[in-house]
Structure 1
Amino acid sequence: MNNTSILHIKEQKTGLNKRQKEFNLLLQNIEELNRLIPELESAYEEMLQRIPTDLNPLIREYQGFRAEIVHLMDRTYTNDLFRNAYQTKLAYLITESAFDLIVNYGFEDLKPVYNKYSDIDIETAIQLQQEQFKITDPAFLLESENKTEVPEEDEFHQLPEEEQQKIKAEQRADRIAAQIRAAKLHAEQQKTSKTVRAVYMDLVKSFHPDLETDDTEKVRRTDIMQQITQAYQENNLLKLLKLQIELERTDQDKLENLTKNQLNYYNKMLKQQVEELEAEKEAVQKKIAAVCGLPYQHANSRTTVIVKFNTNVNELKTEIKNIKIVLKNWKVPSQLKAYLKTYQIPNEKFPDDDDEL
């Protein structure tokens, strides 16, 4: 951080005591966190900007090839090579892939294919999946004076699927809007940390111009309060501590002379600031992890984060090359059959003898 050199206790011939060493270490931690957090935020924003251009097109391309494979298996299902367990395996692969592509990637054209091989139609399958995660408390439907009245839970599930989806979409939008409003309010309320406010209030008590009767001193304190207020608005603890040390110790200009009690006080404030910054860093790291899959504890530099994102992009490109090869090979029924012979449906067993298949 700029202009914090005054807050570093220089080495002495007799060495530094425990509190002085702790003071220096805490300052180093704060300066490092103040450097790292914006760096990680920048990496996160860069990833968000690159997702629509660098990642999403590859995802769409890859899922498109998956959809082609589903159609290929559908066309090949009645081939004379495929009987009994082979067809059972094909039906399983078709329905599993089609369901994922329909629900998560919007391949609506696969609905007839899914229905062709599944015991239940796609709409019922989607509803069953939703019910697995259904919140039984009707309170999950937010109340609003300006919204359509939400039916009770039993009534809700008796509505047509289209109407249910419409209501849920409205509720999701309202929840998101409420979260945004709450986040903005919280950000305003937490613009300054508790530690910064504590130091700020100490300085205000000591240097507020309204507490001074002498006009000359009042002018000086007015200037001081402007500096204090600016540091407070910037949420800059180190700047406030620097001002506090300079202003309250005008007869001494070296940190080496801080008393035991003063060092204890400063170290307490600095520890609190470190804890707050560590929490802020972890929050950014977890946002990064959600985007690129990097374990959040490993997101400790912009370079590491961007390298991981680039690796994800390159791995997806490789997956696209591989799936194109698979698609090409499976257009030959005998090669698809060779794959099916070794494939096993999870938790199910099939005879190994080819004649039985």
Structure 2
Amino acid sequence: MKLTTQYSICIAEPGTKGPVSRARKQFNTLIKKIEAMRLRLAAWNEAMPSIMRQAEQEFQPLVQAYSVHQKALVLLLDQMHQHKSMGKKERAKLVDLICSVALDVLADGDDAELKDIYNRHSGGDFDAEADQDGAAFRDMMEQILGVQMDAEVDLRSPEAMLEALAAQMHQRAEQEQQTAQAKAATRPKPASALAREQRQAAEADKLKQSVRDIFRKLVSELHPDREPDAAERERKTALMQRVNVAYAANDLLDLLALQLEIEQIEQADLNNLSEERIKQYNKILDGQLRELERETAGSESAAAQEMSGQQRGRLTPQALLRCLHVDIAEMQAKLDAIVAELEEFRDVNKLKAWLKTYQPVEASDYSDAYWY
């Protein structure tokens, strides 16, 4: 879909002293809203590839490096746990830290070595705890939503379980809709409902015909097969491609803009449109605006998930990029800190001194930490 138009569309108010035409005013308002929404969507479409590329090239390597250093920290702390100079309280703090960091790493992927260390220090079994927590989450969501999840769903993956639940909810909604439609089909419709449906169908046909009429006029003038001049045929071919794209999208705005561009109509033709035709155009434009709003909302919703609720107000590509820069800086700081800790904790005296300031979380539940 083309997101900006070369020719701005508007309808001038008639030069009378009467009241302002509501339909004409609505037409111009819809055009402005569509153009603004197109620019908003274009900004997302233009910015997202660069933002995602920067996240992949700058943020993700930091995350991976941090995870590698976390594992190295667990291995070092496990080794220091056996040091002869460690006291009982110091070992208890090391157990808490080892299990906490190990779970953080294991949340992002399986690692047999880390699971063995976790099991040894926690006195539990990582796999059994993960399965138990996943089953509890599944049972809770099934009870709340009233659906039955497939048995093969990975209980250790919240994302997989939520995706499966969404699929079940969608399937149930479709079944309920089909049931309702089947019941409705067996009931005779009141005369008023039939009349309303007929009016709606007739109105929809009339709106389609309005767009079809403009399309046919453009085709009659731009069809490249009827053009003997090679250069002009190439120009008309490019224009016809735009016409076809606009018609396929039911894009009245671009079809009108093309008519102005090739001088098939003039501004005076728009100004002299009948009230009935303007009202028809307004219904088509309103549909275009709603579709653009849905598409833009989808882009912004996907971006908001990356923000993790950090943005207030309307999200913009600039805000998302600022958030990414903050995340990169914070991850770099975390990586620098863990590198420094690895270097410092190799000295048992420095590690013992640091442990004096470390406060384990009371009654920590490592399986809960893993799941959430």
Please, what TM-score do these two structures have when normalized by structure 2? 0.62
Distance change in 2, residues 1:235/1:332 (3 Å)? farther
Identify the residue that residue 8 of structure 2 maps to in structure 1: 5
1:283 Cα deviation from its structure 2 partner: 0.6
Distance in 2 (CA, whole Å) between partners of 1:27 and 1:208 is: 19
The one-letter code sitting in structure 2 at the alignment partner of 1:324 is V
Tell me if the contact between 1:196 and 1:236 (Cα under 8 Å) persists in the aligned partners. no
Distance in 2 (CA, whole Å) between partners of 1:262 and 1:325 is: 72
Tell me if the contact between 2:12 and 2:271 (Cα under 8 Å) persists in the aligned partners. yes
Distance change in 2, residues 1:229/1:340 (3 Å)? same
Tell me if the contact between 1:74 and 1:94 (Cα under 8 Å) persists in the aligned partners. yes
- 1:322 lines up with 2:331 in the alignment: no
Identity %: 22
Gapped regions of structure 2 (runs ≥ 5): 172-202, 224-239, 365-372
1:86-114 deviation line (CA, Å, top 9, x unaligned):
32222122112212212314443212211
Q: Write out aligned runs for 1:1-357 (5 A).
A: 1-7=4-10, 9=12, 20-79=24-83, 82-134=86-138, 140-141=149-150, 199-204=207-212, 223=220, 230-240=245-255, 253-258=268-273, 260-293=275-308, 295=311, 298-301=314-317, 303-348=318-363
Tell me if the contact between 2:67 and 2:105 (Cα under 8 Å) persists in the aligned partners. yes
Tell me if the contact between 1:208 and 1:225 (Cα under 8 Å) persists in the aligned partners. no
1:81 Cα deviation from its structure 2 partner: 5.3
Please, what TM-score do these two structures have when normalized by structure 1? 0.64
Tell me if the contact between 1:231 and 1:239 (Cα under 8 Å) persists in the aligned partners. yes
1:299 Cα deviation from its structure 2 partner: 3.1
**SS of corresponding position for 1:5:** coil
1:308-349 deviation line (CA, Å, top 9, x unaligned):
323322332222112222222333334434443343333449
**SS of corresponding position for 1:346:** coil
The one-letter code sitting in structure 1 at the alignment partner of 2:254 is K
Tell me if the contact between 2:9 and 2:257 (Cα under 8 Å) persists in the aligned partners. yes
Distance change in 2, residues 1:322/1:230 (3 Å)? closer
**SS of corresponding position for 1:140:** coil
The one-letter code sitting in structure 1 at the alignment partner of 2:247 is Y
The one-letter code sitting in structure 2 at the alignment partner of 1:320 is L
1:108-144 deviation line (CA, Å, top 9, x unaligned):
3212211210121222222223223336699533xxx
Tell me if the contact between 2:11 and 2:270 (Cα under 8 Å) persists in the aligned partners. yes
Distance in 2 (CA, whole Å) between partners of 1:104 and 1:66 is: 12
